[in-house]
A and B are shown apart, each in its own frame.
Chain A
Amino acid sequence: MSAKAAPSKIDVSAKRDDDAVKLPIFMDNHSTSAVDLRVVHAMLPFFTQHYGNAASRNHSFGWTAEAAVENARAQVATLLGGDAKEIVWTSGATESNNLAIKGAASFLKKQGNHIITVETEHKSVIDACKRLQREGFEVTYLRPAKDGLVTPEQIVAAMTDKTTVVSIMVANNEIGVIQPIEAIGAAIKARNPKCLFHTDAVQAFGKIPFDVEKAKVDLASITAHKLYGPKGIGALWVRRRPRVRIDPLIDGGGHERGMRSGTLPVPMIVGFGKAAEVARQEMEVEAAGLRSLRDRLHKGITARLTETYVNGSMEHRLPGNLNISFAFVEGESLLMALKDVAVSSGSACTSASLEPSYVLRALGVGDELAHTSIRFGLGRFNTEAEVDYVIELVTRSVERLRTLSPLWEMHQEGIDINSIQWTPH
């Protein structure tokens, strides 16, 4: 019973025609999303017809552009539960996070020098904080529980009289875990109403209910391209009552109430507005649909494969997210098998460090399991047939790769992987 004849390519073509799916399948909607056609159509006239500069006050080209920008401001603000005047356009959420954290820390540096955030935040939050540390600020990186959640008590316990900014994301981009953001906001403000509360709301915006008033946030970062809008446009929501002040990162013509200079990219802003409007109308139905697709994917996989582990809380999770480890199968090798399906892995075989996802590490997922994780990000345009195709392909690929895996063989033989003296390299 030798295994000389290696199992070859996976054939999943034995599907009924009416279930036919178009390849490749995009299931990486936490990284970005396709632009909705309704958004494209809203944008088009602003390239060739209404191409005015929204800051031109003395002709109709400028007025038309300005009116469109203000309309989009209202569309985006409404979905956040805020006011149109509180929207500051940026190039995306990386800039929004930098502007919020650096801008607030800098403006408040006479009041204090302490910032609190969480280890599982997006790199644009973590690295902005690291830079502030190099400039003399103190940063506390809270460790979430195994399920990815932080508690209001944990945050308040870390606050000192020197804490000026707390930055906690609504929903995580890797594991989809949703923080108890309203309880967190209430707790921070109860401890110190002057401490600014920033949230990276990128993954939650338009996907789950999120309201800046209910969460008592002062600053919220969002971006269009995760919400079926264009890439390169984002916003920072900056509270006006009571007025929150931050230092700008970019100086210039004083656009956006001095917080972000630069000529506004009107077509992108119009697209962002439209994307927000569509999401506001469809979010509830869409979320229910995504949740059922996600659960179908999860059940379909776990019904056929053993030794799979969901990373992060299943209960407090974005409807379209499934982050799952396939023990004994390295993530990148699985991605290779799924070459017609766009998903991502927490394995870091391609990175120089060889270290797996820092988010999974923070949760205490062992490195060996982190290397086997795959993130599925379902979105507006995924179908049940695609999910079924992916279940089939994932299952067969994991089975094949397990036949190649010495660890799987050891596991089958009852050998404890941890009892072996490995040689880390």
Chain B
Amino acid sequence: MAYSEKVIDHYENPRNVGTFKTEQDVSTDEVGMGLVGAPACGDVMRLEIRVKDGLIADARFKTFGCGSAIASSSLATEMIKGMTLDQAAQIKNTHIVEELNLPPVKIHCSVLAEDAIKAAIEDYKKKHAK
């Protein structure tokens, strides 16, 4: 199967790879983390958001999965930067499908990226719900 140029670009030059855990200037209560998928299904995404003044200031990801899964999560980190939590929660997998030209067999990768965003937001909100 041929990959779209955008998938290849994100796969070869993934954006925002890593984890805030190892970044000294980030405090844990700024961070929300979403871990979705399962190793047995061949896809695991971990997406972290760093929230400042109600905006997603930065994001990190690591993904175990095919090229389209890596690209979907890499793109997701770019899309959500600068958004409010509510805006980010509105992101639909179809946005990712369109942006990356994903074929039907790869739709699930975009769904997983959407789930990862939502899970990270949930995690952040849970931390701050007192």
Contact = CB atoms under 8 A, between A and B. Distances in A.
> Does B associate with A?
yes
A405 B12 CA distance: 14
A288 interface: no
Given A2-B18, A2-B23, A336-B3, A425 B66 contact: no
A405 to B, nearest CB: 5
Interface stretch (A36-44, A160-168, A311-319, A326-334): A326-334
Interface stretch (B33-41, B79-87, B120-128): B33-41
Contact of A367 (B12, B41, B46): B41
A424 interface: yes
B39 A371 contact: yes
Contact of B37 (A328, A331, A423): A423
Interface in B4-56: 8, 11-19, 22-23, 35-46
Given A2-B23, A8-B12, A425-B43, A349 B65 contact: yes
Contact of B41 (A3, A417, A425): A425
Contacts of B65: 330, 333, 349
B111 interface: yes
Contacts of A9: 12
A425 B111 contact: yes
Q: How big is the A interface, by class?
A: 35 or more
Nearest to A345: B66
Contacts of B105: 349-352
A302 B100 CA distance: 35
B109 to A, nearest CB: 8
Interface in B82-130: 105-106, 108, 111-112, 115
A6 B73 CA distance: 14
B75 interface: no
Nearest to A409: B62
Contact of B66 (A6, A349, A367, A420): A349
Interface string B55-86: 00000001111111110000000000000000
B48 to A, nearest CB: 10
A6 B112 contact: no
| A interface, over-half SS | loop
Contact of A406 (B23, B42, B62, B106): B62
A336 B67 CA distance: 7
B17 A3 contact: yes
A308 to B, nearest CB: 16
A329 B64 contact: yes
A23 B63 CA distance: 29
A367 B40 CA distance: 5
Given A6-B15, A9-B12, A423-B36, A405 B64 contact: yes
A113 interface: no
B5 to A, nearest CB: 13
A406 B12 contact: no
A230 B41 CA distance: 37
Contacts of B106: 349-350
B18 A424 contact: no
Nearest to B62: A406
A179 interface: no
A248 interface: no
A328 B44 CA distance: 10
A333 to B, nearest CB: 5
A156 interface: no
Contacts of B22: 1-3
A347 interface: yes
Smallest CB-CB A-B distances: 7 pairs: A3-B18, A422-B38, A368-B39, A371-B42, A367-B40, A332-B66, A349-B66
Interface of B: 1, 3, 8, 11-19, 22-23, 35-46, 62-70, 105-106, 108, 111-112, 115
Interface of A: 1-4, 6, 8-9, 328-333, 336, 347-352, 354, 356, 366-368, 371, 403-409, 417, 420, 422-425
Given A349-B42, A422-B44, 18 more contacts: A1-B23, A2-B22, A3-B18, A330-B64, A332-B66, A333-B11, A333-B69, A336-B3, A336-B8, A349-B43, A349-B68, A354-B41, A371-B42, A404-B14, A404-B62, A405-B64, A409-B62, A425-B38
